Amino acid sequence: MLTIYGVYRSRASRNYWMAEELGIEFKSVPVIQAWRLDNPLAKDAPINTMSPEFVAINPMGLIPAIKDGDFVMHESLAINLYLARKYGGPLAGKTVEEGGSLIMWTTFAATTLEPHTIKVVLTYDHGKENSEAGQAVITAACRSLKRPLDVLEQHLDGRDYIVGDGFTAADINLAEVLRYVQSEKMLFDHRPNLKAWIDRCQSRAGYKAMQATRMQEAE
């Protein structure tokens, strides 16, 4: 059985969404971020990213991680590519070329988008979005996203999904990275193809199931 280590209010959300899309049985092991605890190494501390039993799974001490049989893996976006290839059929792409495109767009999400989108969501998480410093961070991040989002807008012209003619792991990986900046509505309202695509992705039953559980977790 697939085991996902993490919480829904983390990058593990990507893997929970993928598992829902695949319709496979999985076990969720809640592992919270150590920074949420006063003493993450206390004997009575809940399992967290500094707990020895979790560090044995992911020596980096970061969530998420998975265990699929005897196979252990971390890095959320790569996990989704693995799950799609093992269980996903069309979610992994229909051809070698589509598989290559999945890798390309996932790398694009990780290296071109997320360094900027994460700054926006962390500004909100820390309650600084209305401060002068917070607004400066958000403005700079949105400026850095202009060109890559324009590339996506053009790519999605006449397309419903990122790769091929159907929903794939690339859509999950990109949509989850871009969810971090959905607070900045002008990024999407000014790009109708991008907005229609992310709305299409987030209308799926798998996304809604993931979000329903995510909203039940403590912030």
CATH of domain 94-204: 1.20.1050.10
CA 211/CA 202 separation, integer angstroms: 9
Kindly state the DSSP code that residue 34 receives in the 8-state scheme: G
pLDDT tens sequence across 120-153 = 999 999 999 999 999 999 999 999 999 999 999 9
Strands (E) across the chain are located at: 2-5, 26-29, 65-68, 71-74
The pTM of the whole model exceeds 0.75: yes
Which residue ranges does the chain devote to CATH 1.20.1050.10?
94-204
CA 31/CA 19 separation, integer angstroms: 18
**Residue 74 φ then ψ, to 5°:** -130, 180
- Amino acid in the structure at residue 176: E
pLDDT tens sequence across 48-84 = 999 999 999 999 999 999 999 999 999 999 999 999 9
Quote the pLDDT of residue 219.
75
CATH of domain 2-90+208-216: 3.40.30.10
CA 40/CA 59 separation, integer angstroms: 16
SS3 call for 58 = coil
Which residue ranges does the chain devote to CATH 3.40.30.10?
2-90+208-216
